[in-house]
């Protein structure tokens, strides 16, 4: 879905803990949140001695963002860089391997 980006550190940490049932105090794990407007994104990371809150707003375009809890995913550093460049990290229609080869004429 989307997150109310007016939330601060405590509100986002609460979302991580109660909505996604994850530990917001996992060191060096970046949790990302997107609002209804996909041109803004917030990040929250526990650094061991406190939280770091990040915010990015795109001037043009928007982030490709999952809209259901089931679509939420863990991303690799490469996928994160792609996301920050405005690229889709999951193809809408991925190329699938054929299980039965096509019959030749």
Mean pLDDT in residue range 73-102: 73
Please check the confidence at residue 3 and state whether its pLDDT lies above 80: yes
pLDDT the model gives residue 47 = 93
Q: How far apart are CA 104 and CA 96, in angstroms?
A: 20
- Cα Rg for the chain, rounded, in angstroms? 17
What is the C-alpha separation between 84 and 37, in angstroms, rounded? 15
Indicate whether 49 pLDDT > 80.
Answer: yes
Q: Where is pLDDT greater, at 98 or 46?
A: 46
Q: Give 32-89 as a DSSP string.
A: EEE-SSTTEEEEEEE-SSSEEEEEEE-SSS------SGGG-----HHHHHHHHTT--S
Q: Rounded distance, CA 37 to CA 2, Å? A: 9
pLDDT, residue 36, reads 84
SS3 4: coil
């Amino acid at each position: 879905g989307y997150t109310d980006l007016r939330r601060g550190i405590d509100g986002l940490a609460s979302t991580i803990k109660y909505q996604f049932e994850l530990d917001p105090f996992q060191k060096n794990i970046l949790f990302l949140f997107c609002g209804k407007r996909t041109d803004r994104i917030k990040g929250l990371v526990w650094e061991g001695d406190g939280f770091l809150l990040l915010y990015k707003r795109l001037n043009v375009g928007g982030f490709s963002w999952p809209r259901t809890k089931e679509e939420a995913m863990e991303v690799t550093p490469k996928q994160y860089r792609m996301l920050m460049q405005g690229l889709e990290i999951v193809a809408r229609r991925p190329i699938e391997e054929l299980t039965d080869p096509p019959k030749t004429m």
